Each structure stands twice: as structure tokens, then as C-alpha cells.
Amino acid sequence: MVGARHLGLLLGVWLCAAGALAGERFLSAIADLPLMPGLTEAPNSAVVFSKPEGRIVEVAAAGAVERAAVVAFYRRTLPQLGWQPAGDSAFERERERLSLEFSRASGQLVVQFSLAPK
């Protein structure tokens, strides 16, 4: 009976996390990385390499958003997907590290997502 209660609790937590991510768009090259509302993935920006140590992925997105809002969104969202903060704008999960780098172009914030083995 206790096992069923724990299973129900875990299912409830999973459904809440899935509900929080419902309607989210994801990056094309990193299928389990949500794209923050207000950002649009840059066409043809994805570069993907596979090597024995893991995958290396680079992809960019841009929008009329602020850096602080982007960092806050990913700090709130990524732990639900198993990522843990590893610095101001970096996250780690299992054997991978995700870094976010920021620049400005044409009045928009450009976010460069870089995924690589740790």
C-alpha cells in the first residue's frame, strides 16, 4: 500500500512538471531543451557532432527579451528536466554540460546554446 502511495506521488509530480512544460517549443537540435517564449531559433544555426565521449551541439535563438529573463526561465525550467545549475548560465546533467552565451544583434538578444560532454 505504501508503494502505491509513493507511485501516485511520483506520478503527480511528473504530471505537474509535464503540465508546466506543455505548450513549450523545443530546440530542433536538442529535443529535450525548451525554447523560452519570446525566443525564435535561428534558421540553420544548429551544428551537431557525435563523438565517443558524447554529443556536441551548438544552436542559436534570438528575441526581444532580456538576459536576466532568459537565465531565470532556464534556472526555473531545466531542473524539472534533470539539469542542475553549474554557474550563472551553465547547467549539468549526467555527463553533459549546457552553456548559454549572450550577445546582441539588430536590437535582439542572441542566445547561443552549447552542449558538450563534461
Query: What does 41-90 look like in DSSP terms, one character per residue?
Result: EPTT--EEEEETTEEEEEEEEEES--HHHHHHHHHHHGGGGT-EE-STTE
Q: How far apart are CA 57 and CA 98, in angstroms?
A: 9
Spans in the chain with pLDDT lower than 70: 1-23
Give the model confidence (pLDDT) of 46-72 as tens digits.
Answer: 999 998 999 999 999 999 999 999 999
* pTM given for the model: 0.79
The residue segments making up the domain with residue 111 are 25-117
In a domain, 8, yes or no: no
Identify whether 19 is part of a domain: no
Assess if residue 60 is contained within a domain. yes
Residue 76, domain member (yes or no): yes
- pLDDT reported for residue 48: 96
**Angle at CA 21, nearest 5°, toward 16 and 25?**
170
Residue 54 lies in a domain: yes
| CA distance linking residue 107 with residue 65, whole number of Å | 10
Is 7 part of any domain? no
Number of domains in the chain: 1
16 inside domain: no
In a domain, 4, yes or no: no
Q: What is the pLDDT of residue 104?
A: 98
pLDDT at 13: 38
Q: What pLDDT is stored for residue 23 in this prediction?
A: 55
**Residue type for position 104:** R
